[in-house]
Amino acid sequence: MEKRSRRKFSSEFKAKVVLEALKERSTIEELARKYELHPTQINLWKKEAVSNLSSVFGKGTEGEKQEQEE
């Protein structure tokens, strides 16, 4: 029996899938079929993206931080 190597997905691909999942225009099952993924994988990526979303808005340059403090 041949050992099958794991597929690796780019962050851009993951973001694309998660954004489609968040739009809720298609079900997770439909997206899984479309991208040849397991529905659980999409749900894990979605959960990770949502939990890290606040870090996107928490970062800023020093100049922006100083302007906000004034």
Interval 16-46: pLDDT, tens: 999 999 999 999 999 999 999 999 999 999 9
Domain chopping of the chain, boundaries? 11-53
For 40-51, the pLDDT digits (tens) are 999 999 999 999
Rg (CA), the chain: 17
- Do 30 and 21 touch, CB atoms closer than 8 A? no
Per-residue pLDDT, 57: 85
Distance CA 20, CA 27 (A): 9
What's the average model confidence in pLDDT over 39-68? Answer: 82
